[in-house]
Amino acid sequence: MAQNEAVSPGEGAAVLEALFRQSPTGLLILDTELRILRINLTRPVLHEAPTEQIVGRHVTDVYDLSAPDEVEAMLYSVLENGAPARERLVGLRPKGAPGPEYLFSVSAARLEDAEGRIWGLLTEMLDVTEREKARARMRVLSSVREHVGRTLDVVATCQELVQAVVPDLADIAVVEVVDAVVRGEDPPPSPLGPEVPLRRAAFGHSGGDEQTRAHPLGDVRALPFPTPYAQTLADLKPRLVALGPDTPWLAADPPRAEAIGASGAHALITAPLTLRGTVLGLLSLYRTDQADVYDRDDVTLALAVAAHTALCIDNARRYTREHAIALTVQHHLLRSSTATHTTVETAHLHVPSEAGGGGGFDTFALPGTRTALVVGEVVGQGIYAATTMGQLGTAIRSLAALDLEPDELLARLNDTAISLAQERAALPPDDPMPLTGSCAYAVHDPLARTCTIALAGHPPPVIAHPDGTTQIPDLPAGPPLGTAEGPPFAATTVSVADGSVLAFHTTSLLRASPSPDTLQRVLAHPERPLQDLCDDVLYRLRNDTRHGDVILLLARTHSFPADQVATWHLDHDPQAVAPARSHVRHQLILWGVDEESAYTTEMIVSELVTNAVRYGTPPVRLQLIKDRTLTCEVHDGNPVAPRLRHAKTIDEGGRGLFIIAQLAQNWGVRYTLDGKTVWAEQTLPPRITNRPR
């Protein structure tokens, strides 16, 4: 077609139809009265009502605009003079729709025919909401970096922070600093105790309303508990919290509850002011405008703002102090986070008792992709209970290294507790009460999708299934630890589906709960983040820590990747070694294992299979597992344990397990009802190990 050849009406209609149905941007055709003639169906965010209810209506009757008069003036200007408007930023939402505004880049061009008659406007609308939010966050961060820290005064630094974040990041901002820091002293060690006083150093409100203050500037008091403020300073994790009249923790702080209600705040972010693991204070950000909501990107920004401010506050503190003293953060580190393994995601809640209790919990990896979950408690309070629980925790780890079944592990742990109790009984009469305790020990096996649990005078866990149903399995309670006589310990294996949540807890949690089913009600939504579930449980507890440590350990189970496990059934014959090595060699090539590691694995497999064939009984099964380590397992039907020997020079055999011990990072034996499994673990280069989920 020639360049100046006219387009036929049919071609024009086809082009227009394709444009409206396939354009990635929003398109509107408006008449000269700004009534909508046609709308792009591929942009549902532009309209929630059916198209027939939109066509023919004025644009301001369809959308709530951030500046309707300015938008109308821009569109009429394009109609009058024909000069297109390009990339004008407009905030809008469907008429009467709740929630935040969408930001659009709006361009408009006049429509006219060959005779010069004006038909209306073609308006292009590009959703730039996320782009503009990202730019706004960068502006806030740049403002904080530019304006915060210009003085060497702690309170002035906090005031600079409030001025930098209001109103772009928050409608209300509050900064509270540990009182000792304001005086230039070293901040207390982490985690921050509920009794440590904080000074309200800065307050800012976009509306300038002083009536929404819960406490005056300069007020010194400890943070209320349990609340998101105290929790943030306890575990150094930010909180994103929705606020409303039914928010349970508001009752713990009536002045703040009244101020929040008066301001109309509907969302809160709490971020710790920390530096090198030391708590300096707390930043609280509130939104009162219903159109503005917080998301996880805002939490990330709040953490970046808090990190910069914390550095500035610490510089001011050091300057205030005439003789700086080296921080003791290396000696007072936060308690390590609960480990997260490949197939188990964990979170915990720990509320210490008033006098210091003897509660404890632990999670650690076991051979064969399994994970151990432990919650225990020693009766009593103070240093004796805490140190005894530490001794028992060390014993649990040592016994778990022997790959014992949960019931056998508790039996041997009970022997240790009895020995410790005898030592305590030999102490002077005015020393603490006799040692007794409780423990729940469980092993999650992702390959079998089971969890084997044994209890020693401890409450059973709550299991939340992926469909939202919960159950408390009927498990034998077992005698308490430190009991010389009583029924034997028993282990029970329960099936756990992928995505189930196991909740282990101390009896103190039940005492502090308002009702016996509090935990089950919270776990009825197991898809929520585990830390949110822990917080939700905390906010429902009574403020009563006289009866011991409140501990909750949550574990969400995940299946192990099927392509990272290989299993072969072997003949009970000496000739089975060659095909076993061949199977392993082929599988390691598929997994991308380097030649050196593959050669070592073949030697380990050769020795394990040889021992199983020579000294074991059928059936013989070889299994290879690639996780953070490479594990070789050979199972046979003979329950007799192999023995590590140092063979003499004239011996023809006896070197198998000795060779394995030299080649492998770790090895051991696990007994089952149908025989035993001998396993060996190797380390792998980081580039081929599985990433934690």
pLDDT digits (tens, 9 = 90+) for 11-69: 555 656 666 666 667 788 888 888 888 777 555 666 666 766 778 888 887 887 888 88
- Can 344-557 and 562-688 be said to share one CATH topology? no
Q: Could you give the maximum distance between any two Cα atoms of the chain, in Å?
A: 111
d(CA 597, CA 632): 12
Question: What residue segments make up the domains of the chain, in order of their start?
Answer: 9-127, 132-320, 344-557, 562-688
> Which of the four pLDDT bands, split at 50, 70 and 90, describes residue 305?
very high
At 50, list the tokens: 């059916």
d(CA 278, CA 262): 34
Kindly provide the residue ranges of all beta strands, DSSP E only, lying in 343-485, ordered along the sequence: 344-351, 357-365, 371-381, 437-445, 450-456, 462-464, 470-471
In terms of DSSP bridges, do strands 278-287 and 172-178 run parallel, antiparallel, or are they unpaired?
antiparallel
Of 87, 80, 82, 78, which is closest to residue 105 (Cα–Cα)?
87
CA separation, residue 313 to residues 135, 162, 272 (Å)? 26, 13, 13
Residue 264 pLDDT exceeds 70: yes
Give the rounded percent of residues in the chain with a pLDDT score beyond 70: 84
pLDDT tens-digit series, residues 369-406: 899 999 998 887 666 777 778 788 889 999 998 889 99
d(CA 365, CA 373): 9
What is the CA 371 to chain-centroid distance, rounded?
A: 18
**What's the pLDDT at 692?**
44
CATH of span 9-127: 3.30.450.20
d(CA 519, CA 550): 13
What is the CA 221 to chain-centroid distance, rounded?
A: 30
- Give the three-state DSSP class for 606: helix
Terminal CA-CA length for the chain: 58
Residue 174's Cβ-count burial label (10 Å; 0-12, 13-18, 19+) is buried
d(CA 65, CA 61): 10
> Which of the four pLDDT bands, split at 50, 70 and 90, describes residue 483?
confident
> Which of the four pLDDT bands, split at 50, 70 and 90, describes residue 135?
confident
Kindly provide the residue ranges of all beta strands, DSSP E only, lying in 536-619, ordered along the sequence: 550-557, 565-570
Q: Which fold has domain 562-688?
A: Heat Shock Protein 90 (3.30.565)
At 30, list the tokens: 């408006």
Of 480, 474, 529, 470, which is closest to residue 503 (Cα–Cα)?
470
> Across all residues in the chain, what is the average pLDDT?
83
**What's the pLDDT at 16?**
63
CA separation, residue 456 to residues 436, 448, 479 (Å)? 10, 25, 5
Q: 209-244 burial, b for 16+ CB within 10 Å, e for fewer?
A: eeebbbbeeeeeeebbbbbbbbbbbbbbbbbbbebe
- Mean pLDDT lowest among 167-176, 251-260, 385-394, 576-585: 385-394
Of 302, 283, 291, 312, which is closest to residue 149 (Cα–Cα)?
312
d(CA 158, CA 424): 52
Average pLDDT score over residue span 306-320: 87
Residue 1 pLDDT exceeds 50: no
**Does 640 or 237 have the greater pLDDT score?**
237
Average pLDDT score over residue span 234-263: 87
d(CA 538, CA 532): 10
Measured over the CA atoms of residue 651, residue 653, residue 658 and residue 659, the dihedral's sign is: positive
Average pLDDT score over residue span 182-202: 83
What is the gyration radius of the CA atoms in the chain, in angstroms?
33
Choose the CATH number for 344-557 among 3.40.50.720, 1.20.120.1750, 3.40.718.10, 3.60.40.10. 3.60.40.10
**Does 689 or 107 have the greater pLDDT score?**
107
- Mean pLDDT lowest among 578-582, 595-599, 648-652: 648-652
**What's the pLDDT at 387?**
74
- Give the three-state DSSP class for 486: coil
pLDDT tens-digit series, residues 138-155: 999 999 999 998 888 889
**Does 44 or 461 have the greater pLDDT score?**
461
Average pLDDT score over residue span 333-341: 47
Number of H helices, E strands in the chain: 17, 27
pLDDT tens-digit series, residues 86-111: 888 888 877 777 767 788 888 888 88
At 446, list the tokens: 């992702």
Residue 284 pLDDT exceeds 90: yes
Average pLDDT score over residue span 217-238: 88
Average pLDDT score over residue span 558-568: 91
> Which of the four pLDDT bands, split at 50, 70 and 90, describes residue 250?
confident
- Mean pLDDT lowest among 290-299, 427-436, 473-482: 427-436
> Which of the four pLDDT bands, split at 50, 70 and 90, describes residue 652?
very low
Residue 223 pLDDT exceeds 50: yes
What is the CA 58 to chain-centroid distance, rounded?
A: 47
Of 492, 428, 493, 497, which is closest to residue 466 (Cα–Cα)?
497
**Does 317 or 633 have the greater pLDDT score?**
633
Average pLDDT score over residue span 237-241: 92
Residue 487 pLDDT exceeds 90: no
- Mean pLDDT lowest among 282-296, 404-418, 556-570: 282-296
**What's the pLDDT at 400?**
92
**What's the pLDDT at 333?**
30
Average pLDDT score over residue span 440-444: 96
Average pLDDT score over residue span 258-274: 90
**What's the pLDDT at 440?**
96
Q: What is the DSSP string of 222-280?
A: EPPSSSHHHHHHHH---EEEE--TT-GGGGG-HHHHHHHHHHT--EEEEEEEEETTEEE
**What's the pLDDT at 660?**
81
Residue 653 pLDDT exceeds 60: no
Of 162, 154, 55, 43, which is closest to residue 104 (Cα–Cα)?
43
Average pLDDT score over residue span 222-243: 89
CA separation, residue 198 to residues 177, 182, 188, 210, 245 (Å)? 5, 9, 11, 20, 26
Residue 202 pLDDT exceeds 60: yes
Secondary-structure percent of the chain, ordered helix, strand, coil, rounded to 5: 35, 30, 40
d(CA 641, CA 668): 10
Q: 132-320 architecture in CATH?
A: 2-Layer Sandwich (3.30)
In terms of DSSP bridges, do strands 102-112 and 85-94 run parallel, antiparallel, or are they unpaired?
antiparallel
**Does 618 or 114 have the greater pLDDT score?**
618
At 162, list the tokens: 């409030």
